[in-house]
Amino acid sequence: LQALTGTVAIILGFKYWIQPRVSALPVHDALLPFVFLNTFRYLGLSFMAKEQMYDGFPTDFLTTVGLLDLTTAILAIISVVALKNKWRFAIPLVWVFNLVGFGDLITAFPQFFGLELYNQNLGFIWLMFVTYGLATFLSHIYIFIRLLKNLKRSKMKNSSLKAIAIVLSFLGQTVLYAQETYPGKATKVESDISANFPFESKFINLGNDTIHYVESGEGDPILLLHGLPSNLYIWRNIIPNIDSNKKVIALDFLGFGKSSFPADKKVSVEVQYEMLKGFIEAKRLKNITFWVQDIGSIAGMLYSIREPQNVKGIALFEAPFMPADVMYDQLPFSFKAFMRLTRTQSGNEKWMVKRNFAGKKLATNFFAGRKLPKEAYKFYAQPWDEKERRYAITNGPDPASLSFTKGRGKSEFSDLLSYISNGMKESTVPKLYFYAKKGLVNRKGAVEYAKENFKNATFHYLGKGKHLLTESHPKQMSAEFNQWLNQLNR
């Protein structure tokens, strides 16, 4: 309601009060108030800078919006002085300012909604977006109108066009840089993604624990390891699409899906790793190819680092393979905010055990990046119906601990990330890395880190996706995985 009424007020004020008073003015005088309005754009940097009024914004948001705000403000100040003194190059300077400033806004607003910041208590920053942000947007539109009219004057035409060419060249370089990370058009979620789970459940006893898994095919094994807060159900559209001459096995980690939850409630990374190692030994699996995600990727990466002689390759997505500070900085605001709620044991139990966050439709859709069909929810939600099993999340790997020091302090989880990131940097095991725009655990910073540090790696950009990428691009992922694996077998 605030955004709507503010929008109407600004538009009416512009139409009936501002525009009639400036329409008849000479171009320098007409542009002056609209350019001056943008001299306050430095506020965008101060409000979004870390350690000032709000520290929850991701680094890429700060860079693309905050620094462009500062640049726009400086250009606006120079342009105001030039217009006031009617300098010869005042109008070309306004072209430069307006193109940069308008580019800043059309970059900021999609990120604002993409980060779901409207769900957060941003205080005065919210007012900045729905009032001042809109006012500056309209100012750019009006400036463009007056500048285009002014182009009819031949005296100004050449210098203005040169200014436009310079700015467009700069903006083009920025777009090309983004294209290097996310090449081509971000393809949408695939249609007709099946919710059926037509696989026979199998169980194996490992000491006091019972592990649930599904298995099909023959040949060198492919081990599929799920992440949080899911189970082997995420692989249902992958298993049938992997080449039939492969043995495909998907398992549930301890406490997840249909696997047992240890009586002592211990499901740390090392406990899950030892379970995985015991499973591999019990099944006598050799020359393994891993396909892993999230906590599954932690266990899979640890195995490929410690037992590389038994690993043919590792395919991964939405995986914490980078140092703690890199991981924290590139996380989206929504994830950082939730980490703050769950970073203490009491907070974790409140949200995961008492409120059963992982068993809610909202959480499932959030991680999947799409609204799932009704029949899919039971596979994600039913394992958490038993309250005692919800401790599998609270007692497992704890990325929320990074929020205490923003990834720059010592903790058990940050030490784990340091070990994994160093191991993956040195590992020569063939890797296939899937990523999406914009992901959740793996945003732009993670993708760039992987491209800089992975050896013997193949990278595949899927398109639009969140955390459970097999819920958005299963056919594309399967096809690329088969092609990559066939090359390994040559």
486 pLDDT more than 70: yes
Q: Which residues of 181-219 are buried (b: 16+ CB within 10 A; e: fewer)?
A: bbeeeebebbeebebebebeeeeeebeebebbbbeebee
SS3 145: helix
Instruction: Please give the residue that has the higher pLDDT: either 100 or 178.
Output: 100
Cβ proximity of 67 and 136 under 8 Å: no
- Per-residue confidence (pLDDT) for residue 323, from 0 to 100: 95
Q: Which residues of 62-80 are buried (b: 16+ CB within 10 A; e: fewer)?
A: eebbbebbbbbbebbbbbb
| Burial class of residue 261 in the structure, from the number of CB atoms within 10 Å of its CB (0-12 exposed, 13-18 middle, 19+ buried) | buried
- The pTM (predicted TM-score) of the whole model is 0.69
Peptide bond into 466 cis (omega under 30): no
Report the share of the chain in percent with pLDDT over 90: 46
Residue 308, CB half-sphere, CA atoms under 13 Å: how many?
A: 9
Instruction: Please give the residue that has the higher pLDDT: either 32 or 329.
Output: 329
317 pLDDT more than 70: yes
pLDDT tens digits, one per residue of 146-184: 888 777 654 545 555 555 555 555 555 555 555 678 887
Cβ proximity of 368 and 472 under 8 Å: yes
Taking the C-alpha atoms of residue 283 and residue 435, their distance in angstroms, rounded to an integer, is 31
Stretch (H or E) spanning 305: helix 295-306
Stretch (H or E) spanning 315: strand 311-317
Q: Which domains occur in the chain, in start order?
A: 1-178 (no CATH), 201-489 (3.40.50.1820)
Q: What is the bridge-based pairing of β-strands 202-206 and 457-465?
A: unpaired
